[in-house]
Amino acid sequence: MIYVKNLEDEVYLQAYRQSLANRGGDSALLDQAIEMNLLRKKRTQELETKKAEQKKASEQIGSKKKKGEDASSEMAAVQKLKEEIKGLEESFEEAKNSLDSILLQLPNKVHESVPVGKSDADNRVERTVGEKPSFAFAAKAHHEIAEAMGIVDFERASKVAGARFSFLLHWGAKLERALMNFMLDLHTDEHGYKEVIPPYLVNTESMYGTGQFPKFQEDVFHIKNFPFYLIPTAEAPMTNYYRDEMLNEEDLPQRFAAYSSCFRSEAGSYGKDTKGLIRQHQFEKVELMTFVHPDKSYEEHDRLTQNAEEVLKRLELHYRVSTLCTGDISFGAAKCYDIEVWLPGENAYREISSCSNFEDFQARRINTRFRPKGGGKPQYVHTLNGSGLAIGRTVIAVIENYQQEDGSIRVPKVLQKYLGTEILK
């Protein structure tokens, strides 16, 4: 959420209008916010004036009554002022609520280093790591290999739940669990994150806090007759972990590695990625979440991204890192790096992590601040998150990159201690 005082800063507004244009939007909502803010300020001033008049008139009534004089005209004036104040208070609340509603719909201002573009075709590749594997046979897609091995069952999952669900069986389930343990061990033991298993249900306030609501309400599952939503990512509960709390500067940064199931309706994805595990209603993920000092957030952004990359490096998987352009970046992010792993069965790169810096956009929505060491006014923290990694897509990457001609799968060295074997067959 943008800082309301910035609505009166012409330099900021000029930059923000350009950011909106670069995102592919317009300034209509921003103009409404400016108008509502002016009305809110006007009503505040009018209320102060009327309340001062009311106080003065009340004092005159008291003075006249002490002297035994008639105060009926002053009493009538006070009554009229009360009615006017009531009307102004209602108008003020309407303007304030309208302003708050509009501010929740305005996206974050993108960082100046973000490339301007319209779609993912305009994203800027920052680096490519590792080599694509070569095969002496035609590489197969993960679902062909997995179904032939009997380690995934889409048909029965469709019967039990519906489309975009799966049963992982035997080595499929073991591989997913091994990846989860490997990722959590790496991030907690070597990268300094605190391991968390968060709630899988959150309330409405939490979804507004992260910026998923109001814009993306149709993308999540709502629990009927209850004020809860299934989390689309552990970002939802973890961002709200310190909601309405005041931290101390010396306690920053706070870093969490949260394992969870994630649930997405995939609204708008009809006909997309209908085969395999790529786009499921339910999937598992390890989410990296950090709360940091504003001066350190871009340093932390690079660190978090490197922590996510390390998973792929140790799995010896080829990948690339791109900076998302203004037309592809998410609603709440100021800057985002996408990590895309190479899938030989598709002959394509696929997103496996998005590492975002939200600056103070989410912190203002959730009211999470810190006290500076040397005293002074509390400041909003900066929040960052990224997948470390999406486990289902990592399963896909391992299957496709380590497939063998006989239909078996070699186990990456780093996973052999978790699986107790070198070959899955």
pLDDT-wise least confident of 58-67, 143-152, 336-345 = 58-67
The arithmetic mean of pLDDT across residues 64-86, rounded, is 87
> Pick the catalytic residue: 260, 359, 393, 400?
393
Active site annotation includes 264 = yes
% of the chain surpassing 90 pLDDT: 91
Active site annotation includes 371 = no
> Pick the catalytic residue: 264, 303, 364, 369?
264
Query: CA-to-CA distance for 162 and 157, rounded, in angstroms?
Result: 7
Per-residue model confidence (pLDDT) at position 77:
87
266: left (phi over 0), alpha (psi -120 to 50) or beta: left
Q: Is the pLDDT of residue 384 over 70?
A: yes
> Pick the catalytic residue: 46, 147, 316, 351?
351
Strands (E), 212-346: 222-223, 228-230, 246-248, 254-263, 282-292, 319-323, 335-343
Per-residue model confidence (pLDDT) at position 248:
98
The arithmetic mean of pLDDT across residues 47-74, rounded, is 87
Q: Which of 218, 220, 175 is nearest to 202 (CA)?
A: 220
Active site annotation includes 351 = yes
> Pick the catalytic residue: 17, 279, 314, 410?
279
> Pick the catalytic residue: 19, 206, 354, 387?
354
Q: Which of 183, 187, 267, 199 is nearest to 233 (CA)?
A: 199
The arithmetic mean of pLDDT across residues 177-184, rounded, is 99
Query: CA-to-CA distance for 292 and 381, rounded, in angstroms?
Result: 6
Per-residue model confidence (pLDDT) at position 174:
99
Per-residue model confidence (pLDDT) at position 272:
78
Active site annotation includes 255 = no
Beta carbons of 331 and 358 less than 8 angstroms apart: no
pLDDT band at 177 (very low <50, low <70, confident <90, very high): very high
Per-residue model confidence (pLDDT) at position 266:
86
pLDDT band at 296 (very low <50, low <70, confident <90, very high): very high
Q: Is the pLDDT of residue 342 over 90?
A: yes
Per-residue model confidence (pLDDT) at position 268:
66
Phi, psi of 423 (to 5 degrees): -135, 135
The arithmetic mean of pLDDT across residues 18-43, rounded, is 97
Q: What is the pLDDT of residues 310-328, one digit of tens each?
A: 999 999 999 999 999 999 9
Active site annotation includes 177 = no
Q: What is the pLDDT of residues 262-277, one digit of tens each?
A: 999 987 666 778 789 9
pLDDT band at 16 (very low <50, low <70, confident <90, very high): very high
Per-residue model confidence (pLDDT) at position 52:
92
The arithmetic mean of pLDDT across residues 383-412, rounded, is 99
